[in-house]
Amino acid sequence: MTRSITILGATGSIGASTLDLLRRERERWRVVALTANCQARELAALAREFGAEVAVVADESCLADLREALAGSGIEAAAGRAALCEAAARGAELTVAAIVGCAGLAPTMAAVEQGGIIALANKEALVSAGDVLMDAVARHGATLLPTDSEHNAIFQCLHGQDLADVRWITLTASGGPLRTWSDERLAAVTPAQAVAHPNWDMGAKISVDSATMMNKGLEFIEAAHLFPVGLERIRIVVHPQSVVHSLVEYRDGSTLAQLGPSDMRVPIASCLAWPGRMDTPCKALDLPALGTLSFFPPDEERFPATRLAREAAEAGGAAPAVLNAANEIAVAAFLAGQIAFTRIAAVVEQTLTRTLPSAPATLDDVLAVDSEARAWASNILEHA
Ligand code: NDP
């Protein structure tokens, strides 16, 4: 039996890992839509290889390239935000939501509204629009499968259990490449150093988020929406080896953990095969070779992002969307060489001191908060 699949963000790191798994079981999958921002030629090559119905670039200026690269293939080419949502709404049985940033929110919502299965990697969508997105999931009978490795681990550890029996959900964090750097060195970090993650091979934005620990902050908010046990029951522990992907402790004192190699194909495979399992080419864990696994409390003095995220989650309303938008602006400025690494969290904190709009109740409200917060953060950057 073939299954239909759409990949939003097919040219990215998660997209590549997903397509690698599909390639190994090519006959099982019918590809509906593949999307990118502007990597038109790469997208066209993937669409041809997988026989996609439609390929979409978000950036309309890249449509001509996409059309040219797809000429004679019979594959539809489209561009723009509306086209992304239309592609997501084609009703694939499984949609992998792997666009980076809040840009992925509207297409993810379009997929949710079809009531299918969504493998959600795009954490920023859930951080910005948590209640709105989760309400839509419930209303449309969609199934959200967490693809982020930590949330996928928790999802697996919670299987068949009652949330009321959970004492703690513990998110593990590698601590990123700069975990042991001095304050002086942190102030002078280059983008290349920040994206050089010791364990994971990921896109640039999430790699910087890992280095600032904002990734764990976003994941804290993500976990609160996916597994509503209460914020006070979710905690973060630094685990530099990235072998234990997260843990759930139950009220009887039992702790279940999910372990695996630092390879996103493991959690992605768990979503693709859900509720079953599939083969992956990932290396088996060699525990004797690993020797020691270590765990530390996070250092929120040097890496304040997890505190900012927790405060935003506690404040609720528009705060998480503002946190996310400000972080996206600050990370882009850092990657462009415009601000120091240590300014990223400072810009987020400053943006959150503004009087925030009321809690967003619809997708349009979230997008309005997002765009307003981007403007504030940009303004803070200009006047620094
Ligand atoms: P990448 O930067 O590698 O890929 C991002 C994808 O989104 C690309 O296909 C890119 O297209 C597309 N894209 C970028 N901007 C836009 C836009 N404005 N509109 C539409 N499409 C856009 O990111 P990752 O694959 O690393 O991450 C994707 C998501 O998954 C993120 O939310 C991240 O936090 C999450 N995630 C990633 C993990 C990882 O290991 N990489 C692990 C856990 C979660 P183009 O190529 O044309 O730029």
Over its length of 384 residues, how does the chain's per-residue pLDDT go in tens digits?
A: 899 999 999 999 999 999 999 999 999 999 999 999 999 999 999 999 999 999 999 999 999 999 999 999 999 999 999 999 999 999 999 999 999 999 999 999 999 999 999 999 999 999 999 999 999 999 999 999 999 999 999 999 999 999 999 999 999 999 999 999 999 999 999 999 999 988 888 999 999 999 999 999 999 999 999 999 999 999 999 999 999 999 999 999 999 999 999 999 999 999 999 999 999 999 999 999 999 999 999 999 999 999 999 999 999 999 999 999 999 999 999 999 999 999 999 999 999 999 999 999 999 999 999 999 999 999 999 987
Residues 6+ apart with CB under 8 A from 84: 8, 35, 56, 58, 106, 107, 110
- Which long-range contacts does 199-205 make (Cβ < 8 Å, 24+ apart)? 199/174, 199/241, 199/242, 199/262, 200/174, 200/242, 200/262, 200/264, 201/13, 202/13, 202/264, 203/12, 203/13, 203/14, 203/100, 204/335, 205/100, 205/101, 205/328, 205/331, 205/332, 205/335
CATH of domain 316-384: 1.10.1740.10
Nearest CA to ligand 1 atom 43: 148
Res 197: pLDDT: 87
Mutate to test the pocket of ligand 1, among 206, 218, 324 (most ligand atoms within 8 A of CB): 206
Q: What is the C-alpha to C-alpha distance for residues 202 and 223, in angstroms, rounded to an integer? A: 20
**How is residue 74 written in tokens?**
């019979």
Ligand 1 centroid to residue 205 C-alpha, Å: 8
Ligand 1 centroid to residue 99 C-alpha, Å: 4
SS3 10: coil
Q: How far is CA 168 from the centre of its chain?
A: 22
DSSP string, 318-341: THHHHHHHHHHHHHHHHHTTSS-T
Q: Top-level CATH class of 3-146? A: alpha beta
Res 337: pLDDT: 97
Q: Is 267 in the pocket of ligand 1 (CB under 6 A)?
A: no
pTM value > 0.75 = yes
Ligand 1 centroid to residue 207 C-alpha, Å: 11
Nearest CA to ligand 1 atom 48: 37
Q: Is 15 in the pocket of ligand 1 (CB under 6 A)?
A: yes
**How is residue 61 written in tokens?**
């200026």
Mutate to test the pocket of ligand 1, among 6, 7, 8, 14 (most ligand atoms within 8 A of CB): 14
Bridge-based pairing state of the strands 3-8 and 94-97 = parallel
- The boundaries of every CATH 3.40.50.720 domain in the chain are 3-146
- Pair 22, 50: CB distance under 8 Å: yes
Q: Is 102 in the pocket of ligand 1 (CB under 6 A)?
A: no
**How is residue 13 written in tokens?**
């790191």
**How is residue 168 written in tokens?**
């703690």
Of 133, 131, 155, 134, nearest to 145 (Cα)? 155
Res 204: pLDDT: 96
Which atom of ligand 1 is nearest the CA belonging to 205? Answer: 2
- Pair 4, 92: CB distance under 8 Å: yes
Res 83: pLDDT: 98
Which atom of ligand 1 is nearest the CA belonging to 204? Answer: 2
Bridge-based pairing state of the strands 54-57 and 76-79 = parallel
- The boundaries of every CATH 1.10.1740.10 domain in the chain are 316-384
Q: Is 11 in the pocket of ligand 1 (CB under 6 A)?
A: yes
What are φ and ψ of residue 330, in 5° steps?
-65, -40
Measured CA angle at 150 (ends 211, 188), to 5 deg: 0
Which atom of ligand 1 is nearest the CA belonging to 125? Answer: 32
